[in-house]
A and B are shown apart, each in its own frame.
Chain A
């Protein structure tokens, strides 16, 4: 049974702060890692993907991956109230270029950014 663990939160941070979201996974065979954002009442949308150990930055978002520790995180710098949402972590079994249509999602961390 593949498991993905996330702190359910809510994680509350003040506007302008760094929000740190964490995720651990059980499947050592996972090759790809995704962070999805889901606003209340909306569908998930992909915000970051990472395939190699280390950091990957995209704007205010940084994903960090440590396959040895089976750990992936998402940092959101200069958090804005519009970042308030649930963030879902999803390891994938296929490497870059493979269709990622069977993701196992964590239950998500609810982030609240206070003005």
Chain B
């Protein structure tokens, strides 16, 4: 079974631009979560989607948004990029049903804001 895929893997943008990142979960997984990882702040939760609905949201400004499609693929968007948005953005998917306690992370998208 293929793992979580994220595109693009690397991205360079300038301040003020916007960016869209994509995540395809493992087949059959309906929950998709997004995290931001930086050396200073570590791994921080952005939001979680389940069946096209945002189920939880972390403490990030409204410039960060996301959505999930009917096939469980998810996108996140960052508008008006700031230098501090440079980070590794990780997507994780979780299988449905009882007894599932793990998330499977994708390889991440490395975003650099200049």
Contact = CB atoms under 8 A, between A and B. Distances in A.
B105 A100 contact: no
18 contacts: A42-B107, A43-B105, A45-B105, A49-B102, A88-B43, A97-B99, A99-B94, A100-B101, A100-B102, A101-B94, A102-B33, A102-B48, A102-B56, A102-B58, A103-B103, A104-B45, A107-B42, A108-B43
Contact of A101 (B42, B50, B99, B108): B50
Interface of B: 31-33, 35, 41-45, 48, 50, 55-56, 58, 90, 92, 94, 96, 98-103, 105-108
Given A101-B50, A102-B58, A105-B44, A96 B101 contact: yes
B106 A43 contact: yes
A108 B42 CA distance: 8
Given A43-B106, A108-B42, A102 B55 contact: yes
Chain B's interface: helix, strand, loop or mixed, by majority? strand
B11 to A, nearest CB: 17
Interface residues of A, number: 21
B42 A99 contact: no
Given A101-B31, A101-B50, A102-B33, A34 B101 contact: yes
Contacts of B102: 34, 46, 49, 100
